[in-house]
Each structure stands twice: as C-alpha cells, then as structure tokens.
Homo-oligomer: A and B are copies of this chain.
Amino acid sequence: MKFETIDTGVIDPETLPWTPYVPYSPEVLIKLLKADPVRGEFISFLKAPVDMELPKHHHSGTVIVYTVKGAWKYKEHDWVATPGSVVFETAASSHTPIGVSGYGDEIITFNINVGDLIYCDANDTMLAKENWRTAVARYLDYCKEHNLTPVDVTSFDG
C-alpha cells in the first residue's frame, strides 16, 4: 500500500538542476526540490541577478521565503528581505518582486509554496498560472532536453 514506503529523507540540491524560469524570465533560475501532488505544496530554490524584476502575481496559498543570499522586495511593500530573513506570505496576496542592490549581485531564496501562483497584467487579468504541476513539467522538460535522468520529485519514499 502507498503508505508503506513513505519515510523522512534528505534532498541534496547538488543532484538537481537549475532550470530557466521560462517563459517568464529566463535569467531567473529555479531548482525544484519536492512537490506534493496531493496537497499542492512545492519546495524550490530561486536564483536571480540583482537587477531582476518578476511580473506581478497572486498566490492562492501561503508562501514562506528564506533569503539565502542577496536582497529583494515587493514594490507593494516598504520592507526589504535581506540574507537570513523570512517572509511569510498569506493566502490570496499579490505583489511584484524586484531585486535590491547593496547585498551583492545575486539573489538566492529558499521557497515553500502552497497552491497556485497566478501572473496578472496591470488590470489584474490572469495570464498564466504556476503550481506543483507546471513546476514538475518544467523540471522534466529540462531533463529531457539535457539528457538527464530525472528523479521523482513527487515521491516521499525517504
């Protein structure tokens, strides 16, 4: 039965690729670590140049962001997320991420997303959505294109 193999495990990020965040911002890289296809939680790293700007987006669920390196902010908020800080995003919030200078050339964040991320235009028209499913598809496409053998990031078998 499904539960018999479920176990606690470690994920070594060195074994997983950085994939360009197409079609949004190819200079932004995502490393998907784990995705739960039942609940919709997915865990990833994001790496971006300090001059990055990502489109405005809405989150259906919570997001927890630990900043490993560099600094960034949301245009809609005054605060800046610097290395070691933790951002807690509540369900149905929306915002526009931009890099903040003064903390190096590169931004790396560790992210725990639940549910969808929806990209909107200036009139809040929904343009595209990202979630566990699109994150897994991007990872598998990248592996195929680069002749890498994918691991099952949707497995919790320890």
Contact = CB atoms under 8 A, between A and B. Distances in A.
Interface of A: 1-3, 6-13, 33-40, 43, 58, 60-62, 64, 66, 74, 77, 79-82, 84-93, 95, 110, 112, 114-116, 118, 126, 129, 131-133, 136, 150, 152, 154-156, 158
Contacts of A112: 64, 112
B64 A61 contact: no
A152 to B, nearest CB: 4
Among A60, A87, A112, A156, the one with the most B-chain Cβ atoms within 10 Å of its Cβ is: A60
Given A1-B154, A60-B115, A114-B115, A8 B92 contact: no
Contacts of A9: 77, 79, 87-88
A86 B66 CA distance: 12
B2 A155 contact: yes
Nearest to A6: B37
5 contacts: A11-B85, A13-B84, A36-B91, A37-B91, A43-B64
